[in-house]
Structures are given as structure tokens and as C-alpha cells.
Structure 1
Amino acid sequence: MTMKQTIINEIKKWDSIIIHRHVRPDPDAIGSQAGLKALIHTVFPHKKVYLAGEQEESLGFLAQMDEVDDDIFQRSLVIVCDTANTDRIDDQRYVNANAVIKIDHHPDVDTYGTLRWVDTNASSTSEMIFDLFEACEAEGASLNQEIARLLYAGIVGDTGRFRFPNTTEKTFLAAARLVQTGFSRPELYDDLYETPLAVLKLQGYVLSQLTVSDSGVGVVRLPKDVLETYHVTSKEAASVVNSFSTLKGLKAWVFFVEEEDVIRARIRSKGPEIHELAARFNGGGHPMASGASLFSWEETDTFLKELEQICK
């Protein structure tokens, strides 16, 4: 029996299901989370399915999170999407559930869960949920516009609009079937990539402050006073991390964004693998896209020295 069928059989057993994803969600986190809820409801319309985690207003057009009472966890199946390590699961009450399923495409950092489906060859967790949908078709699942919109958003987000190396033939085949449902792609793209004026102005600052080393490492530092000057949040600042990704000679780059008690490092690469470096600095992610947490500007210098060595 495949893991997909095992997961379907486990879902059948529970009347109440709570779906989690990682903190500071991106389109794949919410797309896979909410897409799975919509998928379950097409097969099992009478099951109670909840979305756990803080509401991310910038992605509110995708889905709204649910309020979940404490006592519901003890009688529910928990499914965690798109989260490699337990510290990053949004809403730590998941530990109160008697059964936990992990569905993820990141390298397996924490092997949590009573069932684990990890596929690092998948472009996104949303692509994996599409695979689960295909396995559910024998159970009566139907692909509607809401499932398709959510999963397509997740795939688009994690593949950089199908530009990143994680995009495979399988990814395109999934996307082709999703768009056949007829949801509005122009509307979805407008929602995904709409940019406030303040963020565009910050992007100009970023381009003017970018430094690139001889080994091809790009660096931008965004202390709190800069964010305050441009009236942007840390998350909004992170949205421009790829603003100079086409720069000739660039191998890898990092944004250091200062928050109240931590400096977030947003790391991207065109070849050198960076996820192990991120893991050494309280983070993780993909070989070409990762994040880390640092606690002083001096520590960012140490981080950069290691990134330089990787790129050399």
C-alpha cells in the first residue's frame, strides 16, 4: 500500500481533522493547507476540518484560518503541511492530538508524526496534495476551482512561476490539469504579486545598497530604522529578496532583516547548496532557498564568512 493510500485510510477514520502549516506562511504553506481541506470536503463533506495557525493578512485572499478550541485537538487527526521541523509548526497545540501526519517536500529535519510522507523531489507541498487528489479520485474526489486555485497558487509560489530548478515535467502536468478547472489565473496573479508603493520604494533602496563579493555573494542589510523609514514590515521587506536575482556573476545572496529580537536571514542560491548552512544558524529550507535566525550583527558576519566559503 502506498503512503498516499495509507493517509487516505487514516483520514477516513476521523470525524475531526485539523490542518497546520509553518509560521510566517508563504503561498505553498497556505495553498497546501487550505487545498487539502477543500479536497477532504469533496470526498467527506460531513467531516469537520479546521485550518490552524495565525491569520496572514497578505495571503487572506487564499484562505482564512479557523478558531480551534483546545478540546478539539484531543479528538482530532492533525495533518501538518510544508513544515520540516517541529519548532516552525504554527500552533504548537498539535502535540495534544493522538495522531499526526506530516506531508512535506523539504529535507526531513524532524521526523515527527505517526505517519510521514516526505518527497523532496516534489516542487512544492501543493504538488503533493495534487498527487493525493489523484489518489482520492477512486474515493469520489472531484477537482473544483477552489482546490485548483489553492494548489496552483502554492505551486506557482514555490517554483517562482515555474522558473526554479524544482519545476519538473510532473509539475507542469499537475498545473495543466489544475488550470482546466477554469479559475481566474489573472486574478490570482494580481493577488499574489500586488506590491504596495512602500515596498517598491524599499526595492529601490535595496538595489542601491547591494554589495557583491568576488566569490559572488550578494548582501543586503535592513536594520529596523530602515524599515521604519520606508514604513514596511519585516515580511514585506522579505518579499523583495529576488529583486536582483538576475545579476550577472551572482552565486548566492542573503537579506538580513532586523526584527525586535532577531535578525532574519533570507538566503537564495543559483547553485551552491545553502540549507545546511541555514540549519546551523537556527533555520533550514531548500538547497536553493532557505532562512535562518541570527541574534546580533556580529553573528551575521560569521554567517557571511561561511557562505563565502560555500561559494568559493
Structure 2
Amino acid sequence: MRALTWAGGTDVIVTDVPEPVPGTGQVLVEVAYAGLCGTDLHICSGEHPRARPGQIIGHEIVGTVAQSAEGIAAGTAVVVDPLVACGACPTCLADRPQTCERLRLIGIDFPGGAASHVAVDADRLIPVRGQANLRNLAFAEPLAVAVRAVRRSGLQDGQNVLVVGGGPIGVAIAAYARNRGAGRVVLAEPSPVRREFAAALGITTVVDATGLRAEVVFDAAAHSVVADLITDVTAPGGTAVIVGVYGSPQPFNLQAVTFNELSVVGTRVYSRRDIAEATELISSGRFDPEPFLTRTVELEEAPEAIVELRRGVGVKVLVRSSQ
């Protein structure tokens, strides 16, 4: 089969690879769409510490079961939960697999979904109930990150929200927080293209968060400037949620945390509950991902799409893996 692979350095190619053969407890999925995101860009720039040349990328996967297996009938529409936890470390045993000490990911540690087929452990599949719009459901995985971030924030009805960082995750957090009953929602983002995208969804945008205050603040940028700013923009008694992943430790104003009685919350990817909820939100029509899906390309066009994503063109690119 054809697959989108990272060949090393900054080379991304579509090449022939053997079609996967499901192992014990696995299901073969015919991939409909695989989303590309910032993690894929890191892999394809040689910046991800675990990825190895030859890796089939793509962890935002939706498709249908190719062959009945493990109690799941052929033709069932499924969203793939790409997180693979060890199941044995203390955090896994405490039912927190998303913080597993040895957490691995389909598309980094295992062959990904930017191909016609992918073999997946049966417990990584979320069957879709009712009518399935597979293209829209390709956004379930990134939406799950937003669902978990908002859940971890403890957002209450009417609370004002500030999101710093206007990438797909930041905008999804802003949109989902609004759906969950937030008061005023503001998104801070220096890029005019990203601000324009968020504004088209009815989200209030600003260039810089300096001088603003909100009860709940989401750091979706993971930039040192934001680390310096976040305790200033979180209202006394409020909650700051760190969503973006910093590449190195950052200075943080712990005095402000104490004096203003701030809560600082970390959030890592999502739990099974979160991605299942994201799947239901989309399949039920309660969250419309269509505006986020700015481009769909065929598998053979995907390397060029990655070049454009590096240039900041588009929001979410989907790779159509099967006809």
C-alpha cells in the first residue's frame, strides 16, 4: 500500500509499504482520513525524540473496520484513540493512562494512519453511533484535547475565558468553552491570519493579552512570553490551564500564585472519556468542525501539504487515504 512517511531530515515521501497484518487483539482499519498537526511537523523536521526515519505518520485517524474482528463488525465507522499506555505503571493503575510513564502514540511509536490501512488494538477504537460523517470525525482527536482542557479547568457557567494561542487547539478550546456556557471568551493571537479565522467563528480576538483579566486562562501557545504573562492575566482566585507543551522549563511567578490564590492546572492530551465525548459531540452535531477543516488532499499530495503547513497556510489539513 501507499503511505506517507518521514524519510529523515526534512524529507517526507509517499512510498510503498506492506499492508499491515493485524496481530492478536488487533483490528484492521481502512483509513478514510488522517489529520495533520504540529506534532507531525515536528516529526517531519527531525525534531521529535522518538520518531525514526521510515515512520508512517498520522495519529488523527478515522475510518471503517476492514474485517470483522474482536467483536467489531466490518464496515463499522471508528475513531482511533492513538494513545498507547503501558497499563502497568502507577499512573496507569490509577486509571490515568494519559500520564503513563511510558506513553506511546500511533503515528510516532507505531505505524500511523496516513495510509490506506492501519492495524490498531481493538481497545483503541471508538465505534461511532448513528450516521457517521467521516470527514468531520477526523477532528475528534484534536477536539478531545480541548474537551480535556476545559474539563480540567473546572469552568463554571458565566466565567470569563482567555485563550492565549490561536492554533487549531486554541481556537477549539475557545469554541468549546463558549459551548459549555462560558461568559466572555477572548482569544489572544499575534498572527492576523489566525485571528481572522477565529473571528469568523464569532470569537473575540486581540493581538496581545497584556492588560486583560479572566477567571479561566488557557495557555495554548507554550511560548516563554506567555509563561511570563499568564499569572498577570489570571484573575485573583482564577485558574490557569497549561495546554501547550513547553520544550524546556520556564520561569513562573509563584509569588503571584500565592498572593492571588491562583490554581495552576496541567493537562496532557486526553483520556478515553474525552475522545469519546469529542466523537459524540461531532457525530451528534453539537460541535461543528467544518470551519476548522480548511483543506483536504489526496495521499500523493500530502508532502506538499506539509510544506504549506510549515509556512502557516491553513488550519487543519486532512489526508484522504482511501477512495
Which bracket does the TM-score occupy, shorter chain normalised? Answer: 0.3 to 0.5
Question: TM-score scaled to structure 1, two decimals?
Answer: 0.34
Give 1 or 2: higher strand fraction.
2
Question: TM-score scaled to structure 2, two decimals?
Answer: 0.33
Give 1 or 2: higher helix fraction.
1
